[in-house]
Structure 1
Amino acid sequence: MPHLTSTTTGTASTDLGAGLGIPGYAHPLVAPLEWDALTRPGAPVHWAVLNVSGGPGSRLDPHCLEATGRLHTAGVRVLGHLDLVQGTRPLGELISEAHRHLDWYGVGGFLLDRCPSERAVLPEIRRLITTLRALLDHGHIVLGHGTHPHPGYAENADQLVTFSGTWNDYRWSQVAEWTADYPPERFCHFVHGVPRGHLDEALRIARWQGAGTIWFTDRTVRGGRTDPWETMPGYWDDIVSRLGTGVSE
């Protein structure tokens, strides 16, 4: 895991440059190779998200416990998945899920997926983040907007996901001007449907737009039934060799 050092209140930075943020693989029984790959030496993984069943699930899953245990041993930060559904879920429900993530899997932070981006909702999200930080010891908070939110969100989280979508949209995307006030380690980009031949171009876009944590995959959404993040990209070794200290075997 990259070394995280506090720079301002409630934020963090990494001193190892660009790396991978895993939005959430399929269950370890379905995707064992994917989970194992995250523990290999040289894999530049900033963090990986645990999503048992839209969150922590209703009971402890021994397979997820084993998988997260291996990640902890390898020094990979595990984030619990909390689905905000654009700010429509009650605070108490989210905190209850956060407790289960912490008690069962010892997560080191949270991805707040489908986080709203409007200024009007910012006080509610700030309250949630403050409550989560009270539960965590030096935890990491990522807001999964998927687009550029109101800049006030950047003052509350460690990282913001400012792009999540297709390669066709990404290659023509524009970065918000206010992001230039922050270092690249504050921003994440998740892009699916990236052809192998365009991987270098995608990495250049991330660098130009100032995103320090990325996840590029050639997997796509098929008929709305497939989650492109659930499996490893076909060019995993290529990504690792470009970003990490070595290529996975």
Structure 2
Amino acid sequence: MSRQRHVVPAYFHPAVEPEGWRALASHPALRFVVLNVADGPGTSPDQSFVDAAAGLPVIGYVDTDYGARPAADVLTDVERHLAWYGVDGVFFDQAGTDARHYGALTEAARSLGAGTVALNHGTHPPEEFTELADLLVTFEGPLCAYRDLWVPRWVYRHRPELFCHLVYETPPSATASVLRQAWRSNAAAVHVTDHGGENPWGRLPT
């Protein structure tokens, strides 16, 4: 479990939760912070996020609406993240199952300068997606659902650094068991929070 690193969805504004952003700067096992200004990069640069993200490994949040959002709009968000916030890569949220579509998006994002591409399906996608992304979020949900997570056999044919689990509504007393379950499920990237509701990633865990 020493190889586990945290991918933190930081869906909160530095002006509202400055302590949270400061805590990320000293996180001992941080892989990435997912920067989300306004369900994406917003319509203009926000200096608060520029300052807060400086020196952190950051990837930018981009909604793909399960493949329904026009590729041009998706890639405009990628360009804005790269130009305005100097992110290291992109976090494609609400990923669909059309591998050809996401392969094209991934290739285009890399050509724009995204060094890392993460796909958040929130569940296990077809295995062919392992060839497209640097990180696959194969679980996002509450602890009660995580306890029943089924992991396809093909997952164990790949390196654990490829897989990420995001688990919310988890009391602090259960965090260690979630980390163990993630490792047994071949996921070396993880984030666990006790928060829930519409946006469980609206602040750091208690």
Q: Calculate the TM-score normalised by the size of structure 2.
A: 0.96
> Equivalences for 1:1-249 in 2 at 5 Å?
17-40=3-26, 43-69=28-54, 72=55, 76-116=56-96, 118=97, 121-136=98-113, 139-221=115-197, 226-234=198-206
> Which letter does structure 2 place at the counterpart of 1:98?
V
> Which letter does structure 2 place at the counterpart of 1:62?
Q
> Which letter does structure 2 place at the counterpart of 1:177?
R
Q: Secondary structure at the match of 1:49?
A: strand
In structure 2, what is the Cα distance between the partners aligned to 1:157 and 1:168? 28
Aligned length: 205
Deviations 1:201-224 (A, max 9, x none): 111100110111100000011xxx
CA contact (8 A) 2:10 2:204 kept: no
Q: Secondary structure at the match of 2:200?
A: coil
CA contact (8 A) 1:25 1:34 kept: no
Residue 199 of structure 1 deviates from its aligned partner by 1.4
Q: Secondary structure at the match of 1:38?
A: helix
In structure 2, what is the Cα distance between the partners aligned to 1:198 and 1:80? 29
In structure 2, what is the Cα distance between the partners aligned to 1:25 and 1:97? 16
In structure 1, what is the Cα distance between the partners aligned to 2:196 and 2:69? 28
> Which letter does structure 2 place at the counterpart of 1:228?
P
CA contact (8 A) 1:144 1:161 kept: yes
In structure 2, what is the Cα distance between the partners aligned to 1:99 and 1:85? 18
Residue 198 of structure 1 deviates from its aligned partner by 1.2
RMSD value, Cα: 1.1
Residue 25 of structure 1 deviates from its aligned partner by 2.9
In structure 2, what is the Cα distance between the partners aligned to 1:44 and 1:165? 22
In structure 1, what is the Cα distance between the partners aligned to 2:193 and 2:33? 15
Identical-pair percentage: 35
Residue 161 of structure 1 deviates from its aligned partner by 0.2
> Which letter does structure 2 place at the counterpart of 1:182?
H
In structure 1, what is the Cα distance between the partners aligned to 2:49 and 2:135? 25
CA contact (8 A) 2:124 2:139 kept: yes
> Which letter does structure 2 place at the counterpart of 1:83?
D
CA contact (8 A) 2:11 2:37 kept: no
Can you give the 5+ residue segments of structure 1 that lack an aligned partner in the other structure? 1-15, 235-249
Residue 24 of structure 1 deviates from its aligned partner by 2.5
Residue 23 of structure 1 deviates from its aligned partner by 1.6
